[in-house]
Chains A and B, each alone.
Chain A
Amino acid sequence: MTTAAIHEGSMPVTITVNGRTEKAEVPGLTPLGDFLREKLGLTGTKLGCRAGDCGSCTVLVDSVPVASCLMPVAQVGERAVATVEGLGGEGDLHPLQEAFRNNNASQCGFCIPGILMAATAFLDRAEPPSRAEVVDGLSGNLCRCTGYESIVSAIVEAHTLNREA
């Protein structure tokens, strides 16, 4: 690709989001978050600051939580992107969604998609995370409504639900 294509002209982009391969023509520096929301209509990913400070736009890129407002879409390459829309199935909740519901771990809800994606990292661990570990792990995500307590409880509970499932 040419430098010009990255900065202004459109370039073809092929990425895999929630298991589906998507193609579009966009400037390569388009942030992944904008690409998801505007080109793919996946508005579950929220843009709260566009500076990597709030974590609302967190998605997974090859299972690693990433601020999608900062990552250019051209940088995703072959890696698989997962967003909140791919978290649960139809009528079938992901353990995190179930635990967040059980704990009323959302108020206005705007930060929640990003927090859910950031929290997936805890579920793969063998041992249940302690509350302190979850608190540390959430340091990149801001929530203005809940005070985090219900969110931390939900993530700890989700680990158990995930093991049982």
Chain B
Amino acid sequence: MSGPAWVGQGIPQVDMLDKLRGSTKYIADISVSGMLHAVIVRSPVAHGRLHAVDVDRAKKVPGVRAVLTSADTPHRFFGPHANDWEILASEKVRSFGDEIAAIAATTLDAAREAAALVTATVEELPAVFDAREALRDGAPTVWEDRPGNVANSFQISRGNVEEAFAKADLVVTDRYSTNQIYHAYLEPIGVMAEYHPSGSYTLTVPSHIPYKARLTYAGALGVRPDQIRIVVPPIGGSFGAKYEMIEPLIAAVLARDTGRPVRLVYDREEDALIARSRPPFWFHHRIGVTAEGMFIARETEVVGTAGSRVFWSPAVLATAIHRVDSLYNFHNMAGTGALAYTNEAPTTCMRGFGNAESLFGIEQMIDEIGEKLGIDPVELRQRNAVREGETTLHGWHISSSKLPECLERVKEVSDLDNQRRETRKQRGLTGVRRGIGVAIAHHVSGYRPILADYDGSSAIVHATSGGRVTLFVGEPDIGQGQATVLSQLACDELGCSPDDVNLQGVDSALSPDAVGTLASRATTMAGNAVVAAARSARQKLDALLADHWRTTPDRLHREGEVVHFGEQSLTFRESMALYAASNCGLPLLGEGVHRPATQMPDKDKYGNPSAAYPFAAHVAEVEVDCDSGQIRVTRYWAVHDSGTILNPSTARGQVVGAIAQGVGWALMEDVKVDLGRVRNPNFLDYRIPGSGDMPETYVEFVDAYEPNGPHGAKSLAEAAINPVTAAIANAFHDATGIRCHDLPLAPERIWELLTGARAQSPAHDAEEALI
């Protein structure tokens, strides 16, 4: 066979036409007969003892079928990391917006009217709204059984960090903070629940880790996981928010109580008010370096916000503390961190997953070190970056890395050295100043500890007599183009065309069990599984065709969608008709299992958790308007090693989209929480980048091959957001000489930094005098 026909082609996404015709059915577009509408009644205070919830008036509203409180739910505490979730609050409310009652009615209006009539008797308690305060003695206690408010902690060390610091020629110490970010998917959260008289449930949930979520839901409902059928509809954006949610459980108890299907869909304000956002972190970093610019020690301390309950913040914290050791070799490290319970909405993971947060500070400090030692920032990164083939401090094995090439290329295409010579000459604190900054990043392609039972993925290929191919995997597509690359991989094995293929939406009644679409794992893991499944299907088909032509499978020859043997040939469709006819109608089935050689880290957190590591080097150019504090990203360059690029068009889309989210995070986005209540729960006050905020962007993928990935591919979409805030902050420093330690670099903060710097700058006084 010649080279792959489909892998490497920038074909349109396979589900694109439905999306362009408006026929994709997201959760809010799905209604079923007899369906009720649900509304949640929420706590009006951030912290309080819940004495009574009066639902009598609500129950009398025409159309209302159920008004439930905690007393009507299976009364148990549960949760993915700690047993601190309840379906509805029982004795206490711990954050503004905590769920205290739920209503199902024949119309949304009736449900809303009833919700307004529920009254809760709440004795307000002292509350705590800052993780650092929550961890101090005497802070109000969020959970009585967790005095001190420590929701989670993480410690790790390698080598002898104090000895190494003592030997260092230069030690830099600094504090950085990263802020609370709303995922701001365009599709608000929604779910549908159905209860069956047999005692089982069907939950239609836009979760991209549906099987993991099902374990949590089964625990909460007091049923076996197989008593929940979980169906994943198309997801209108998630970026980490739509993992394990409380909403399916609320809908489930309403469905059980009423015996009718219940749909719960938020409007934007409710979605943003209770958003489980990116956790804010406060970092202290210390880095020790030799005079030659070799890193020899790193110490990091992190405090973060878990909020009133623990969602996925512990995994984010752990990542923020130790993932960077597979980007740079610090030789000795020590990291500690704590997440605090506070009376705020729970936080959870978001694209970048702690790694992006940690790099915001570390990548700025590396520039600082370069400046102090007189070493070029690209050169300093080259000297200390981990290399292909290396096993890093925590036992992570870097099976492929073209990071050095990425750095060289990004320097070249952005003309970094010449540009920086110019910007340094023009550096200043007034008028409009231009700056340019570099930052690098990496990520994982899957993460072994997500699910205790197994890593990897499995897939089923199903092809009908008409040549229609359906792929079954347990990793949902979240709009990133996974269905498309999986189809491309399958087509090259099977000898069919993407027009013949569709990816079955994940449905636990049909799809393989799976870890899910998270940790940048789906293309690598499900991709390998699909290749294996399609290959097993093709082997069956080849055996039949060989039999048909009285030859052996190795003498068949495939060209595009046609199989040849000598002068004879059959198209894929014809061969499928033959297969089905020869097997009394049986579809062609292939199964594939991919078991990556990942390791569950041991008790010291040592072991290789991911099959592959992608890398990126970015350069940002900014213009700083020193009068207003406004920063604009004017140009941007991104060079990536993601192994083989399966679809250059969707891959570019992932990088550009990640840069947009990074630009938003760096410059404008900030969930404003005041006394536990989100003050900007809408797109007018919580601004995400619009078309006019995006820089002109250059994207390049270097030639690379990852031995553990399908056709040499590895992950992409998180590595692409990880360096963005740091590249922009380094560019701001280049323009003005000011370090910004906190996100976002929004006009107020930048204006204050500039004003402060001007007040301390004698050069500026002279400049002012001239004016």
Chain A interface residues (CB < 8 Å from chain B)? 37, 42-51, 53-54, 56, 83-85, 87-88, 93, 97, 100-104, 106-113, 116, 134-136, 138-139, 141-152
Contacts and interface: CB of A to CB of B under 8 A. Distances in A.
B661 interface: yes
A50 B269 CA distance: 9
A88 B483 CA distance: 24
Contact of B694 (A100, A103, A136, A149): A149
Interface in B579-595: none
Interface stretch (B8-16, B132-140, B283-291, B538-546): B8-16
| Smallest CB-CB A-B distances: 9 pairs | A44-B22, A108-B479, A109-B19, A110-B236, A147-B660, A84-B22, A53-B683, A43-B29, A147-B656
A110 B479 CA distance: 10
B417 to A, nearest CB: 27
A12 B267 CA distance: 27
Contacts of B480: 107
A109 B24 contact: yes
Contacts of A49: 267-268, 682-683
Contacts of A144: 183-186, 237, 239, 657, 660-661, 688
Given A51-B268, A51-B683, A143-B186, A107 B21 contact: no
B656 A146 contact: yes
A43 B25 contact: yes
A148 B694 contact: yes
A55 B238 CA distance: 18
A141 B185 CA distance: 13
Contacts of B186: 46, 48, 54, 56, 108, 110-111, 142-144
Size band of the interface chain B makes with A: 35 or more
24 contacts: A46-B26, A50-B267, A51-B683, A53-B682, A53-B683, A54-B268, A54-B683, A56-B186, A84-B21, A87-B20, A100-B16, A101-B12, A104-B653, A106-B16, A107-B657, A108-B187, A109-B236, A110-B237, A111-B186, A134-B691, A142-B690, A145-B479, A146-B660, A149-B694
B187 A46 contact: yes
Contacts of B268: 48-51, 53-54
A150 B22 CA distance: 19
Nearest to B686: A53
A100 B20 CA distance: 8
Interface centre among B19, B234, B683 (most CB of A within 10 A): B19
Given A87-B21, A101-B12, A110 B684 contact: no
A85 B21 contact: yes
A160 B17 CA distance: 20
Interface of B: 10, 12-13, 15-26, 28-29, 183-188, 234-239, 267-268, 478-481, 649-650, 652-653, 656-661, 682-684, 688-692, 694, 697
B19 A146 contact: no
A147 B659 contact: yes
Contacts of B18: 109
A151 B657 CA distance: 11
A23 B758 CA distance: 66
Given A53-B684, A144-B660, 8 more contacts: A42-B22, A44-B23, A85-B22, A108-B234, A108-B236, A109-B234, A111-B186, A146-B657
B267 A145 contact: no
Given A54-B683, A144-B688, A97 B20 contact: yes
Contacts of A51: 268, 682-684
Given A50-B267, A146-B657, A146-B660, A116 B12 contact: no
A43 B23 CA distance: 8
Contacts of B185: 108, 110, 144
Contact of A112 (B10, B12, B20): B20
Interface centre among B186, B479, B697 (most CB of A within 10 A): B186
Interface centre among A37, A49, A56, A136 (most CB of B within 10 A): A49
Given A53-B682, A149-B656, A106 B187 contact: no
Contact of A108 (B188, B478, B652, B682): B478
A101 B183 CA distance: 26
B112 to A, nearest CB: 13
Contacts of B689: 147
Contacts of B238: 108
